[in-house]
Structures are given as structure tokens and as C-alpha cells.
Amino acid sequence: MLQVGTMAPEFKLHSTPDQKLKLSELKGKKVILAFFPADWSPVCGDQMALYNETLKYFKKHNAELIGISVDSKWCHLAFAQDRKLHFPLLADFEPKGSVSKLYDVYDEVEGQSQRALYVIDEDGIIRWSYLSPVGINPGADGILDALEELDKPKK
């Protein structure tokens, strides 16, 4: 994974079928990048469903969550509508996995993103990262701990 303390690489991906989102548009906010393998996980309370419920805790820290997988913009749209997601899912679809590769979280064997998290600060610097075993939902506690740490008054 990319080093903590380095600049988060810029990218631009589809967030809806007719809109694209650039990372730099979010400057001034903290950004949580949640790379994940695929839409339509069958498990109750899967990772995206969980984050959907924890957005308000992220927002307290001025943080926006973004999900990224190699699924297409139309697949994301259907998934987000089905699960009533209130955050954007970006399609790392063409060239496939290019942003996941840029962030060093691409699984070449399966052809999908790994389950990985980055927390980026208001200036676009990577402050925290976590690579989860692919079958394990990493939860939100690590993200919240990292956000809290960032909001601590500097000594």
C-alpha cells in the first residue's frame, strides 16, 4: 500500500452514469477511500451497508466516504439503489482497476480491488491505511480511531 505521509494520487472516475468525481474536488475535507472487491455481497451488514450507517460519525470529523470497485457505473447504480447507499461508489472500470493499481490495492489474480482503506486529510495527504483479509469486513472502528487521531489538537 502507499506510504502514510505521502500525497494521495489524483484520479477521476465515474460516480454516476453521467458524472465523474475527481479526488481533488474534495480538498478541504477528509476522505475515506474504501476499496472493495465487488458489489452485491450477500452478507447481512456487509461492509458498504455498515458504512451507510456510520456516515454520520464520519461527517462529525468532516470526512466523506467513497467506495471504489471495478464494477461498472450501471452496476454501482443498481447496487446503491438496492441498498439505499448515501455515499458515492466509483467505477474503477476502464482501464480496469487502474486506480486500484495506482493505490497498490489491486488483486491481479481475481481481477478486482483488494479490501483496503485509506484515510486522506484535508490537504490530500494519506494519514492512515489498512489492508483487510479479502473475506473479512474491516468494520469502521479503525477509520474512526484514525479520524479522531487527526482531529486531536496538535501539540
| Least distance between other proteins and beta carbon 101 (Å) | 26
Q: Among all residues, which ones are annotated catalytic?
A: 44
* C-beta closer to other proteins: residue 27 or 59: 59
45 touches other proteins by CB under 8 A: yes
SS3 of 115, please?
A: strand
The secondary structure of 136-154 as a DSSP string is S---SHHHHHHHHHHHSPP
15 touches other proteins by CB under 8 A: no
- Alpha-carbon distance of 82 to 131, in angstroms, equals 27
Checking DSSP bridges between strand 89-91 and strand 106-107, what pairing results, if any? unpaired
130 touches other proteins by CB under 8 A: no
Which one of 1-9, 25-33, 44-52, 102-110 is the stretch in contact with other proteins (CB under 8 A)?
44-52
DSSP class of 71: S
Give the footprint of other proteins on this chain (CB under 8 A): 43-47, 49-50, 52-54, 57, 83-86, 136-141, 144
